A and B are shown apart, each in its own frame.
Chain A
Amino acid sequence: MIEWFHPSLFFIFGAFLIPFLKDKVLKTYLIVITVLALIDVLLMSEGIYWKYSFIGNEIIFGNVDKLSLAFAYVFTIMACIGVIYALHVNDRGQHIAAFLYVGSSLGVIFAGDYFTLFVFWEIMAFASAYLVFAKRERVAIEAGFRYLLFHIFGGVCLLGGIILHYIGTGSLLFGLIEKDGSLAFYLILIGFIVNAAVPPLHAWLTDAYPEGTITGSVFMSAYTTKTAVYVLVRAFPGTEALVWLGTIMTLYGVMYATLQSDFRRLLAYHIVSQVGYMVTGVGLGTELALNGSVSHAFTHILYKGLLFMGAGSVIYMTGNRRLDQLGGIYKTMPITMILYMIAGFSISAFPLFSGFVSKSMIVAAASHDHRAIVALLLIMASSGTFLSTTLKLPYFMFFGKDSGIRTQEPPLNMLIGMGIAAFLCIAIGIFPGPLYAVLPHPVHFEPYTGDHVTGSLGILMFTALGFFMLIKRLEPHPTISIDTDWFYRKGSNIFMWVANNPIAAYEGYIGEIYNVWFTYLTLKFSDFLWRVFDSRIIDGAVNGVARIYLIITSFVWRIFDVRIIDGLVNDIADFWMDFGGVARFSQTGMVRNYAFFMLLGGGILISYYLFR
Chain B
Amino acid sequence: MIKRFIDFVDSIKNMNELRRPFYIILVLVVLSDFFVHREHAAFFWDHIPGWSALYGFISCIVIILVSKFIGHEWLLKEEDYYD
Contact = CB atoms under 8 A, between A and B. Distances in A.
B81 to A, nearest CB: 6
A467 interface: yes
Interface in A447-487: 449-470, 473-474, 477-483
Contacts of A387: 60, 63-64
**Category for how many chain B residues contact A:** 35 or more
A482 B82 CA distance: 9
A367 B44 CA distance: 11
A449 B40 contact: yes
B63 A258 contact: yes
Contacts of B78: 479-480
Interface string A315-336: 0000000000000001100110
Contact of B6 (A331, A452, A479): A331
Contacts of A384: 59-60, 63
A490 B82 CA distance: 7
Contacts of A464: 22
A370 B41 CA distance: 11
A399 interface: yes
A458 B77 contact: no
Contacts of B17: none
A349 to B, nearest CB: 12
Contacts of A573: none
B60 A462 contact: yes
B9 A399 contact: yes
B59 A383 contact: yes
**Interface size range of chain A in the complex:** 35 or more
Contacts of A454: 29, 32-33, 36, 52
Looking at chain B's contact residues, is the secondary structure mostly helix, strand, loop, or mixed?
helix
B6 A480 contact: no
Contacts of B26: 461-462, 465
Contact of B52 (A251, A334, A449, A459): A459
Contacts of B62: 380
Contacts of A462: 26, 29, 52-54, 56-57, 60
A254 interface: yes
B75 to A, nearest CB: 4
Nearest to A463: B60
Contact of A481 (B6, B51, B65, B77): B77
Given A451-B36, A454-B29, A455-B33, A474 B56 contact: no
A458 B52 contact: yes
A451 to B, nearest CB: 5
7 contacts: A255-B70, A375-B43, A453-B36, A468-B22, A481-B71, A481-B77, A483-B75
Given A454-B32, A480-B81, 6 more contacts: A255-B70, A454-B29, A462-B26, A465-B22, A481-B71, A489-B82
